[in-house]
Amino acid sequence: MSKTKVVLVHGAWADASSWNGVIERLQGEGTTVYAVPNPLRGPSSDAAYVARILKTISGPIILVGHSYGGAVVTNAGTGNPNVKALVYMNAFVPDQGESLLHLATTSPPSGQDGSCLAGDLATLFNTVPLSGDLDLYIKPDLFPSCFANDLPEKQAAVLAVSQRPVTQNIIEEPSGAPAWKTIPSFYLVGTLDKVIPPYAQVFMAQRANAQISYVKASHLSMISNPDAAADLIIQVVELANIAV
């Protein structure tokens, strides 16, 4: 049994089941895994929730975030001495004061496409009013081509109608002090990603001084290629176990 535990944090418009293929591999390797629920209410409150879960786990931890979950682990891991490494998968890696909106709408390099979610809210999302906020759902007809462009059509259609909403606050709230400034980081870039284009992933990974790996996969790389995701996590777990 591995000394090091793995905590998986899913992204926006998703739930912990998106890690199922990765969890199966990790458990098969004897690794203790926690696939925690991400409330999807806002970076600071979501990170505080995950940080409270981390405090209930003894021993060394590898903290893994996908997509918006990358912003959550960036904040949740700060100041926790048990977190030995951060693993980002098709993820946002914000610096202090940055919002996801800022990172997602940065102009792309010449000849490259920007994010498929950068644009007018009414065009991209169905909305439900909240008190002082909005819940955002990606329009179901956009979801497959934007999020799941390497998944079978039927599977993408199921994900489109089972998505969990996020608040508008999630994309606008500035991030806090980043854990990646003091904790070793690793990054898996999905080269077919249309949500966080590869150039943006590489920029954030390099800025965090992360060790970078690549997989030919969409934004949902841990679903379409769970072995690549699991292989990277297992590599990091082995490094952490050696260091214990």
pTM of the model as a whole: 0.96
Q: What is the extent of the structural domain holding 81?
A: 1-244
pLDDT digits over 108-145, tens only? Answer: 888 889 999 988 889 999 999 998 899 999 999 999 99
Cβ partners under 8 Å of residue 23, min gap 6: 8, 33, 35
pLDDT at residue 61, rounded to an integer: 98
Share in percent of the chain as helix, strand, coil (round to 5): 40, 20, 40
CATH number at residue 187: 3.40.50.1820
Residue 244 has pLDDT above 60, yes or no: no
Cβ partners under 8 Å of residue 244, min gap 6: 3, 4, 60
Number of domains forming the structure of the chain = 1
pLDDT at residue 105, rounded to an integer: 82
Cβ(56)–Cβ(80) under 8 Å?
A: no
